[in-house]
Amino acid sequence: MSVLRRTAIAFFAAVTVLPFLYMLLLSVKPVEQLLADPGGLWPREATWSTYHDVLLPASSGGQGFLRMLGNSALVSLAAVALALLAAVPGAYAVARLRFFGRRRVGVLFLALYLFPATLLAVPLFVIFARLGLQGSLGGLAVVYVAQTVPVSVHMLRNYFATVPRGVEEAAALDGCSRPQTVCRVVLPLAAPSLAATGLYVFVIAWNEFLFALLFLVAEPGKWTVSLGLQQLAGGVEVPKTVLMAGSVVLTVPVVVLFLAAERLLAEGLTSGADRG
């Protein structure tokens, strides 16, 4: 490995790890020590009371992040399930079926990302308010599905295009219909790509703030963790150590998921890379 490559890896690792390490160290630092030595990095003695304050319910004097974590997990998992449910047949159709405008569908899907999210915020808010889904976690999950399905179709299409047609033809000769072929043959082969796409959708839904604020601002009991973190950031009376603890609580689940799905994620992101 060349010196330049080692240096580049070390640089990007430091840029990635050091901010999270500083946030973690600050979250376990007693607020008295922080006030006495604002520039100090290592705490003389660690305290976990900040995490207790963050996770404790608001009725008990805490910030209620435990409930917000549950809300975020519910919305994110629902968004993943619905997005994959919509993206799998769409991606397979674009990759395998012949129809007019098939080559332009992917371009049209990705063109939706040329429009800023703020442009869609007001129309979606009006539509969901008329449907009675304002302040609903289910409605918020549907919004995230609308945001993530286009790129999910694009990611899965590239993988489905690499699956040999002979495998599907063999399944057809064995008496499988096309839906059975997709469920029994294509999807098991596409597990890495499904994992990568699902993780992408989960991260988007977990960290999203604008639509969560727009739909749930009047329902504190249904707030997601991103809304709770913004509340901590805007609170003058909240110590910065508690804010850092909330940031760690927001970040750790995503990091754990990335580490757990590292192999599938790498395979899914590189699969189909040579196909347009």
CA atoms within 13 A on the CB side of 270: 6
CB atoms within 10 A of CB 147: 22
Asked whether the beta carbons of 151 and 160 are under 8 A apart, the reply is no
Asked whether the beta carbons of 47 and 29 are under 8 A apart, the reply is yes
Given this model, what pLDDT does residue 169 score? Answer: 82
Alpha helices by DSSP H, listed for 45-136, are 49-55, 65-96, 102-111, 117-130
pTM for the predicted model, two decimal places: 0.84
Cβ partners under 8 Å of residue 133, min gap 6: 139, 142, 215
Q: CA-to-CA distance for 99 and 133, rounded, in angstroms?
A: 35
Distance, CA of 162 to chain centre: 26
**Helix, strand, or coil here: 158?**
helix
Q: CA-to-CA distance for 147 and 140, rounded, in angstroms?
A: 11
DSSP letters spanning the chain: --HHHHHHHHHHHHHHHHHHHHHHHHHTS-HHHHHH-TT--S-SS---HHHHHHHS-GGGTS--HHHHHHHHHHHHHHHHHHHHHHHHHHHHHHHH---TTHHHHHHHHHHGGGS-HHHHHHHHHHHHHHTT-TT-HHHHHHHHHHHHHHHHHHHHHHHHTTS-HHHHHHHHHTT--HHHHIIIIIHHHTHHHHHHHHHHHHHHHHH--HHHHHHHTT-GGG--HHHHHHHHHH-TTS-HHHHHHHHHHHHHHHHHHHHHTHHHHHHHHHTTTT--
Asked whether the beta carbons of 97 and 157 are under 8 A apart, the reply is no
Q: Give the tokens for residue 92.
A: 């397979």
Tens place of pLDDT per residue across the chain (276 aa):
577 888 888 888 888 888 888 888 888 888 777 777 766 777 777 788 888 888 888 777 778 899 999 999 999 999 999 999 999 988 888 888 777 666 676 677 667 767 777 777 888 888 888 888 788 898 899 889 988 888 888 888 888 888 888 888 888 888 888 888 888 888 888 888 888 889 889 999 999 988 898 888 888 889 999 988 888 876 656 777 888 888 898 888 888 888 877 766 666 554 544 444
